[in-house]
Amino acid sequence: MATKEKNPDKGVENGKEVEPKSAEEIFEEFKEHSVAEFFTKNKQMLGFSGKVRSLTTVIHEYVTNGLDACEEAGILPDITVKITSVQEEHYLVKVADNGPGIPLDHIGRALGMMLSGTKFHRYMQQRGQQGIGATGCTMFAQLTSGKPIHIRSSTGNGKVYECNVSVNIKTNMPNVSDVQEYEGEFRGVEVMAEFADVKYDRSEYSPLEYLKRTAIANPHAEISFIDPEGRKVRFPRVSESLPERPHEVQPHPLGLESHTLYELMRISPARKVSSFMTTELVRVTSSKVDELRNVIPQFDFDMSPKDVTWEDARRLVAGFKKVKWVAPSAEGLRPIGNDQIEISLRSLLSPEYLSVRSRPPKVYKGGVPFIVEAAISYGGKSGARTEAGSVGGEIMRFSNRSPLLFDAGGCAITKAVKGIEWKRYGISDFDTIPVTVFVNILSAFVPYTGAGKQSIASEPEVVDEIKFAVMDVARDLQRYIAGKVREETRATKRKAIIRYIQLLSEHLPMLANTGNKEDLEKKLTVLVFDKFKADEAEEDKKEKKTRVLMEEEGNESDSDSDGKIEFDEEDM
């Protein structure tokens, strides 16, 4: 053993020397804990912070699960939500869907075990992607009301079951109890759960607002809501067309990270790297493999994927970046569509002007394709009421058709919209104009900043793409506003001239000493307005020139974004 000597690092606490505590003493405290314990202590990371937000989070989790299940099964969704008051700040929430149901042997893990589910490992556009949300609600029900959640479900085979589900927080294992089975005509899932320490209101962060926005982005869904005071709100289905069923897509070589490629190859049944690439990645043709052979000649494309080392994978990824690729397909992504967005926003905001645009798919890190849909709405009920009572610019954020109501500050959508030089688009100050900007991001994997999924991380490609999409619609609005200003100026001019003509006509007869006032007025009007029209035509010509210049500018900024990922347009 080493001799104990005076320790030179020894600190002083309140004037007294401190004897160091040993590693052994400290590590006596070493413990493991489950992911359910982690999220019990960090509920706010799942969106359970604040009484209003917590209740909206519950509605969000159940409604997105219902919509995802219906769409995967190919069923037009009918969602009903009912919130009943139990006592002060304590509610019973009931959410039912007409989806495919959950088989009894999966119900425990689906709703009572975190990090399990059908979505996490698949490369598919769905609202849920983590396997945490629904179990988070079960946990939150237990923590605040002390009660398990109650489920009624059937896969539509004539047999219905009901049961209670809870999660063992120490072990993250599900507990299913009080199972009853009976015959009945029902298909889908109905969740009934009690939550305390939550609050229902009708603010912009409320379940009502959440459902309203869900309806905007999901015109194929029928949504009914009964609030705690018994008021019923119905958001009717406005489209009978189900979005294309989501399906898995293969990764695109561009931006694939070494570790992902390495993992994919380790489990690949392919016998050669070349065949792995042409069968398990998109946009890899055998001629593309030949091109790569030239770019990284030291790499053996004939070896087995299982023999590829991590370092080989890294070299392959580096090689991918040196050749041109066809952009990934958007076939796995299901945009809302310009027409549907227009119908929704017109009915919600009755705007004076509306422009909707979709942009072609792009890729961000990890070979993940994504699409941005954007709209701008002006006038009518557009914009948000500020605290001072005036109307200012509003940003409506969506990802994979789910409304994002919270954590706006850190979100890529907010950053992109606020980062636009609005003055360039005829808007002197975004915060003082009646404008609503709508943005929906679609991707098989949306990079959320937190498990609460209310805010999108600022991946540079994503921020740029949102910016360009909003700039597209802003440019449309700019033309409208410019036209409106021109029209107003003209109207003012016309009025002034008419007043002038009237005045002139009043007095000219006296001055000219002729009795026919009407005749004189008519003649003067024709004369002046002919001149006026010629002036306007000249102005229009000028405006058209400016517009062309502006569009060229716009295209420039687009190619800035593409600069990061080079696509071989000819191959497309």
The C-alpha atoms of residue 454 and residue 57 are separated, in whole angstroms, by 10
Judged by beta carbon, residue 24 or residue 552, the one nearer a copy of itself is 24
Q: Total binding residues for a copy of itself by CB under 8 A?
A: 103
The C-alpha atoms of residue 437 and residue 351 are separated, in whole angstroms, by 12
Q: Does 11 bind a copy of itself (CB under 8 A)?
A: yes
Among 49, 84, 164, 525, interactor with a copy of itself by CB under 8 A: 49
405-424 residues near a copy of itself, rule: CB under 8 A? 407-410, 414-415
DSSP letter, residue 511: I
Judged by beta carbon, residue 207 or residue 243, the one nearer a copy of itself is 243
Q: Does 455 bind a copy of itself (CB under 8 A)?
A: yes
Element (H or E) spanning 479, and its range?
helix 460-508
Judged by beta carbon, residue 70 or residue 341, the one nearer a copy of itself is 70
Q: Given the rule CB under 8 A, which of 71-79, 336-344, 491-499, 526-534 is the region that contacts a copy of itself?
A: 71-79
Q: Does 250 bind a copy of itself (CB under 8 A)?
A: no
Q: Given the rule CB under 8 A, which of 73-81, 295-303, 468-476, 559-567 is the region that contacts a copy of itself?
A: 73-81
Among 155, 274, 382, 505, interactor with a copy of itself by CB under 8 A: 155
Q: Given the rule CB under 8 A, which of 9-17, 268-276, 375-383, 540-548 is the region that contacts a copy of itself?
A: 9-17
Judged by beta carbon, residue 130 or residue 338, the one nearer a copy of itself is 130
What are residue 232's DSSP bridge partners?
Answer: 226
Least Cβ distance, residue 409 to a copy of itself (angstroms): 3
Judged by beta carbon, residue 331 or residue 566, the one nearer a copy of itself is 331
Q: Report the alpha-carbon angle 436-442-444, nearest 5.
A: 160
Among 177, 203, 241, 555, interactor with a copy of itself by CB under 8 A: 241
Q: Does 288 bind a copy of itself (CB under 8 A)?
A: no
The C-alpha atoms of residue 80 and residue 75 are separated, in whole angstroms, by 15
Nearest to 139 by CA among 219, 43, 10: 43
28: exposed, middle or buried (C-beta count within 10 Å: 0-12, 13-18, 19+)?
Answer: exposed
Cβ(225)–Cβ(232) under 8 Å?
yes
The C-alpha atoms of residue 180 and residue 182 are separated, in whole angstroms, by 7
Nearest to 412 by CA among 372, 367, 466: 466
Within 10 angstroms of residue 231's Cβ, the number of other Cβ atoms is 10
Least Cβ distance, residue 194 to a copy of itself (angstroms): 12
16-45 residues near a copy of itself, rule: CB under 8 A? 18-24, 26-27, 29-35, 37-38, 40-42, 44-45
Which phi and psi angles does 157 have, rounded to 5°? -95, 15
Cβ(408)–Cβ(397) under 8 Å?
yes
Judged by beta carbon, residue 144 or residue 478, the one nearer a copy of itself is 144
Which phi and psi angles does 98 have, rounded to 5°? -110, 30
Cβ(400)–Cβ(442) under 8 Å?
yes
491-550 residues near a copy of itself, rule: CB under 8 A? none
Judged by beta carbon, residue 156 or residue 554, the one nearer a copy of itself is 156
Least Cβ distance, residue 242 to a copy of itself (angstroms): 3
Q: Given the rule CB under 8 A, which of 388-396, 458-466, 524-532, 540-548 is the region that contacts a copy of itself?
A: 458-466
Among 84, 118, 304, 329, interactor with a copy of itself by CB under 8 A: 118
The C-alpha atoms of residue 56 and residue 204 are separated, in whole angstroms, by 11
Cβ(450)–Cβ(409) under 8 Å?
no
193-212 residues near a copy of itself, rule: CB under 8 A? 196-197
301-320 residues near a copy of itself, rule: CB under 8 A? 309-311, 313-314
Tokens representing 561 are 């974004």
Among 14, 180, 287, 513, interactor with a copy of itself by CB under 8 A: 14
Exposure on the CB side of residue 104, measured as CA atoms within 13 A: 17
Q: Does 69 bind a copy of itself (CB under 8 A)?
A: yes
User: Is the CA virtual torsion 134, 139, 143, 149 positive or negative?
Assistant: positive
Least Cβ distance, residue 517 to a copy of itself (angstroms): 58
The C-alpha atoms of residue 572 and residue 569 are separated, in whole angstroms, by 5
Tokens 């700040």 — which residue?
89
Q: Does 162 bind a copy of itself (CB under 8 A)?
A: no
Q: Does 229 bind a copy of itself (CB under 8 A)?
A: no
Torsion angle defined by CA atoms of residues 111, 406, 415 and 335, in that order, rounded to the nearest 10 degrees:
50
326-385 residues near a copy of itself, rule: CB under 8 A? none
Judged by beta carbon, residue 106 or residue 324, the one nearer a copy of itself is 106
